[in-house]
Chain A
Amino acid sequence: MNSQRQSPIYRSRLLQPASERAPETHPLTWRLRDDGKVVDLADYEAKEGYRAVRQVLNEHDPQSVIAAMKEANVRGRGGAGFSAGLKWSLTMQGGDMPRGYIVCNADEMEPGTFKDRLLMEQQPHLLIEGMILSAFANNARYGYIFLRGEYVESARVLSQALAEARNAGWLGPDIAGSGFDFDIALHTGAGRYICGEETALLNSLEGKRANPRAKPPFPGQSGAWGKPTVVNNVETLCNAPAVLLRGADWYQGLSGDRTDDGGTKLYGASGLVNRPGLWELPIGVTGREILDRAGGLRDGRNLKAWLPGGASTGFLLPEHLDLPLDFDTVGKEGSRLGTGLMTVVAEDQSMVSLLRNLEAFFARESCGWCTPCRDGLPWTVKLLMALERGEGETGDVELLDKLAADCGPGLTFCAHAPGAAMPLQTALRHFRHEFEQGVRSPEGRARGEPISVGEA
């Protein structure tokens, strides 16, 4: 076991014992070991591993795979919730269309999110199997795992697993005697949040600046190196083997009548909770259940607000704890399900400081391509810093409103700035008084701060 994972601050751990996890109820995590060690090839094969690949590649055709994924309604676990089956059905294939790529988006960098890491560090073969199935469905010739650069442990585990799979014939020519050939390369990123945006990821993969691309054309039409490309999140791909093995109905049934979305989801909690970590639960569980599993807030604090799925989702209030956490319900409350890992804000935490921290992150991670994001976000950071220090001026809060609105969807080139705007907008809505407390001066007063010459 890696020393990193023994660290007390290590969050990417599943807090459900093996006894609680079964193949029928926990398709993502049932194979995980209680000791946290990697499920290696032998272990994986012994637990239904690559069974779906053998079955699908030899007995099914790509269209039926896509149909099954569509029927199961596996929605993108990276946060956007776009139907994976629908995405696959839009990939261009046939005719003179060249075979393209499957790209696994493993650039997990959403603040408060550490779910893909668990899957990659402890069960790499599930991802590989999912990618093979996706490649088969999308007629892809090659796969890339675009991995967040800081995930060195995942990189080590994945490299080893890829070698194991290749040696066992699960990757390479003629997989499982089906005649289908496919291989996967691991690409470690350089640690930019924007690389999680699928088209920026593709540019980065091609060796270019990680600027997003305009859509259309979508990656399924012209993706990596101009070829049809499917980009899916790690968790999304990890759902594919079970869906194809057990069927769409079973998958749909996993979430019961909580929601229309099917399957399970890796949920988690971080912030000032007693037991931060991860749980695989039917999609549509409530925030309260997750908070309970996390043992509530530390030191008996009260909950002030929470982010349902990462820093780029909008703040929800304690009154929202009983809503089912699925893509549509959360969307209706002015937030997004995002990655499904909740971040908890306690009553004694300052929203202004929190937002200053979040916005500093988003401003720093802007690729610098479009104006609102590149130049608007740093301005919000400076305004928040002024408010935090009590140096705000009359009109600053309204200016924050305007800046957040101007970074809305459709106004910026990609979803980065809207992601930065959502927590800001919701915080301004729910906790406006905290921001207004930072306003101490009338607009446009002369300032004492000397501006030195020639300093960067």
Chain B
Amino acid sequence: MATIHVDGQSYEVDGADNLLHACLSLGLDIPYFCWHPAMGSVGACRQCIVRQYKDSDDDRGMLVMSCMTPAADGTRIDIEDEEARAFRASVVEWLMINHPHDCPVCEEGGHCHLQDMTVMTGHDRRRYRFRKRTRRNQYLGPFIAHEMNRCITCYRCVRFYNDYAGGKDLGAFGSKDNIYFGRHEEGTLESRFAGNLTEVCPTGVFTDQSHSDHYTRKWDLQFAPGICHQCAMGCNISPGERYGEIRRIENRYHGDLNGYFLCDLGRFGYGYVNRTDRPRVPEWQASPDDPPAELQVDAALARIGDALLHARRVIGIGSPRASLESNHQLRELVGADNFSTGIGALEQDCLRRMNDLNRSCGLPIPTLREVEEHDAVLVLGEDPMESAARLGLAIRQAITAPPAERAAKLGVPAWNAEAMKTLAQDHRQPLFIAYPAATELDEIARPRLSLAPEEIARLGFAVAHAIDPAAPDVRDLADGLREQAGDIAQSLMNADRPLVVSGGSLMSPAVLDAAGNIARALARRASRGGLVFIRREVNSTGVSLMDGQPLDWALDELSSGQADAVVILENDLYRRLPDTRVDAALDRSEVTVVIDHQRTRTLERATFSLPAATFAEADGTLVSLEGRAQRFFQVFEPTYMRPEARIHESWRWLHALSNRQSRADSGEITLDQVTGACARAFADLAPIVEAAPDSGYRVEGLRLAREPHRYSGRTSMRANQNVSEPRSPQDPDTAFAFSMEGYSGFQQPRQQVPFAWAPGWNSPQAWNKFTDEVGGHLRGGDPGIRLLNPQPGRYEYAGNIPDAFRADGEGCQALVLPRLFGGEETSALAEPIRQRMERPVLLLSETDAKGLGAELGGLVTVTGDHACVTLPARVQPDWPAGLVGLPAGSVSAGLNGSRVTLSAGPGATPSPGEEVRP
């Protein structure tokens, strides 16, 4: 700690910070542009100037950039110094010389850092009378709109895009007052984190194209604290709604998790919420040939209730993309003995194994913030950039961390970004990747080990043995691999904080066991390591902590006639198991009830369908891959703009059905009740009631406002339907109000913040007002509660080491490889994501391709026991022979690990992003 004196007041600050950081953390306002808490200081914009005095006797002092000056003990500065104020006004005046002043038509307006800083410095008279410079803009793809005329040349975009996120196709061009930030030619930005440019850019150069297509000012949006549903990472988001549509998703700061950044899947994958083809009312389809008929809610509940009552046995199929509450309520409806998680058997085995290992291996699961602090990483059978991109970005920070010791020796503070970059050069912490396909992290890793899953597991077992001889050894391991294992073990042992990353992408229990052995071996050395397992879907972890049967079991019960009715919750079974198996089950089902918010192939098979709420219309609890239970909150009430819609949370539908079933009208249910019941039902889930404040939570006696206080048009937005303004929707489930009335300030600490706003701070930079220190944690606590805590006990090393993988002449082993864009079910229905998807291809080794006679890019048909798919083939030089890599989203996940045969063959050439079905 250090004491600094600002405008005559003394404060305690962290002496390792710079003055700007320290002052902002104290809640003092200093304007800035080029500085960013996640990217440090570069001193380019000269906006944060203050006067610094040598000591208490110095009454002249000198002007310094607060971002480039250490907050050393005894520092004396004046922010309110006249000359410093005048200079800060001059800086904005210069920045405004060429700025188009197009705020009324600019999409940044209302959450623009440049607007905020201009107001803060008091510059309000234009003196520059000459011609402005104008620029040409570029097409940068479906996510990002480009308007270079607004640029104030703060360099944040390229610093984030290149230095932080490792991008290569965005640059600073030109010199003097003609710096151009863009691509060398028009085209889609390649980085999967490009969307952060919209928040990193202090003005409207980079804006959200998906938002632009249905634009609403920030102050006119209705927000709620959301959790991204597109992968298992659990990133906190701030979705904004207007007129019953999600209009944009912004990052919601979480000090332990996503910090300031999201991946593009999470930011732009929301379009499925707005699809016009969504089921909005209950439907009934008497026979597969009839068109579905719409039902009133009461009629639907009555008919479904009757049908289920008459059924011999009802199976409930849950879903890892639905909330814990919805899954629990389904289990309540059908009974624990008839409940399936809706997850394939192999995947469920993997998920349970991951939970067990996380609790028993002895290494904790690091938060993303902690991931960045590890100094050696082994990625075993995963591609985090595809399966959990935000984790990939955190791993990148860990690997590219500058050499701290040398910096300390030279006295270079960590926030001095360019100096650190100079010092670091190509310094990399060791990163090892064992994965068959090329990954984006390869460029900062040691040469990737391109191996089949069995070989990856064997490598992992060997690494564990090299760390701790008590761990079982792998006999007959190839010499090369043994040497590699030794190197990896050595690097992990040399590290202060080794991190093991693995997961379920390859659906190989052996790989997970191997990762567990390594973690256990490291834990025995008492190293401060970590173990992360990547799960596939948003609530995979949570649902796997319930006691449900796998999907295979449920299908078998149906197809064998053990059960004759099924209730399917937010789950497209065809994406999990092969068509033939799903069809066999649904063909025998007398009553198929499907609750979903998208028209999936499974929903098409429903006797009755009920329109479910998406994350935007529902509340619920999810468990992330970190084992963090987090609540997401309803953003808007769907019936407000569409009175005809009958969309409800799945748990509400299921509770209503339970009521019918038990013929006991227990009345309405609220979120708190169902969350509480779920917590009571499963010991592992007991803490989830603490994941967020309940509906009785109030700040200063007020509910929390979902709408900014400047929200406009409420009295008129429905006037085209009815001039009488309806009562604003009431929320019995949460502490939030569908209104601008309620608490929206920053002074009172709170963990659930729908949107960040503070007086004078309209841009996302307002998050700095909600944190304990800038870049730290929310003052009200970072949201969520961690469930997968270490459990004491005697644990043994796993010993089921698989045999070496051998490519034999007959057929191949199929691997379904995760894909960020298009691999996930719901976001693949969002238009911008569809445009961003790469053309699905299957990966082959050169040997296998030659054997087939398939030309590069020619079509190859993959045939398994239950499935058949035709895709263009791509030969990857180091792809292991005997494997075929299939893109997730184009084939059912159940194909993973199965034997398939390949044939070069005709078939329709797929258009980009289109699924190829046999």
Contacts and interface: CB of A to CB of B under 8 A. Distances in A.
Interface string A359-373: 000011111111110
B129 A447 contact: yes
A371 B423 contact: no
Interface in A52-82: none
Given A378-B177, A399-B127, A410-B63, A372 B134 contact: no
A222 interface: yes
Contacts of A363: 176-177
B42 A374 contact: no
A192 B175 CA distance: 10
B64 A410 contact: yes
Contacts of A451: 131
A412 interface: yes
A225 B45 CA distance: 25
A192 B176 CA distance: 11
Contacts of A372: 46, 90-91, 94
Interface string B132-163: 01111000000000000000010100000000
B9 interface: no
A455 B91 contact: no
Given A225-B425, A368-B153, A375-B97, A456 B134 contact: yes
Contacts of A221: 410, 412
A410 B69 CA distance: 12
A382 B132 CA distance: 11
A369 B179 CA distance: 9
Describe A's contact surface by its main secondary structure: loop
Contacts of A447: 129
Nearest to A376: B94
B176 A370 contact: no
B177 A454 contact: no
Interface stretch (A155-163, A210-218, A295-303, A313-321): A210-218
Given A226-B423, A378-B177, A216 B94 contact: no
Contact of B95 (A225, A366, A375, A410): A375
Interface residues of B, number: 46
A92 B406 CA distance: 12
Given A213-B422, A406-B90, A222 B410 contact: yes
Contact of A367 (B127, B133, B175, B425): B175
Interface in B106-138: 127-131, 133-136
Which of B46, B153, B178 has the most CB atoms of chain A within a 10 A radius of its CB? Answer: B46
Nearest to A454: B134
Contact of B43 (A364, A370, A382): A370
B44 interface: yes
Contacts of A444: 129
Contact of B423 (A222, A365, A374, A379): A222
A375 B62 contact: no
B98 interface: yes
A217 B175 contact: no
B862 to A, nearest CB: 45
Interface in B417-472: 418-419, 422-425
A222 B172 CA distance: 24
Given A371-B44, A406-B87, A411-B87, A366 B412 contact: no
Contact of B179 (A216, A368, A379, A399): A368
A209 interface: yes
Contacts of B418: 213-214
B177 A369 contact: no
Nearest to B180: A368
A368 B416 contact: no
B63 A368 contact: no
A213 B94 contact: no
A377 B135 CA distance: 20
Contacts of A455: 134
Given A213-B419, A371-B95, A375-B97, A402 B90 contact: yes
A185 B400 CA distance: 30
Nearest to B171: A209
Given A214-B419, A411-B49, A451-B131, A374 B177 contact: yes
Contacts of A209: 172
B68 A368 contact: no
B94 A366 contact: no
B47 interface: yes
A222 B129 contact: no
B40 to A, nearest CB: 11
Interface in B155-201: 155, 172, 174-179
A371 B46 contact: yes
A413 interface: yes
Given A375-B94, A447-B129, A454-B134, A368 B177 contact: yes
Contacts of A402: 90
Contacts of B153: 368, 371, 374-375
Contacts of B809: none
Contacts of B411: 216-217
B176 A214 contact: no
B176 A366 contact: yes
A366 B90 CA distance: 18
Given A213-B419, A371-B91, A374-B177, A413 B128 contact: no
B43 A365 contact: no
Contacts of B425: 225-226
Contacts of B45: 370-371
What 8 A-B pairs come out closest when comparing CB atoms? A375-B94, A382-B130, A368-B179, A226-B423, A366-B176, A378-B177, A221-B410, A226-B425
26 contacts: A192-B175, A214-B42, A216-B419, A217-B410, A217-B411, A217-B416, A226-B423, A363-B176, A366-B176, A366-B177, A368-B177, A370-B45, A370-B46, A371-B44, A371-B94, A372-B90, A374-B153, A374-B176, A374-B179, A379-B94, A393-B129, A399-B127, A411-B49, A412-B46, A447-B129, A451-B131
Interface of A: 92, 192, 209, 213-214, 216-217, 221-222, 225-226, 363-372, 374-379, 382, 386, 393, 395, 399, 402, 406, 410-413, 444, 447, 451, 454-456
Interface of B: 42-47, 49, 62-64, 68, 87, 90-91, 94-95, 97-98, 127-131, 133-136, 153, 155, 172, 174-179, 410-412, 416, 418-419, 422-425
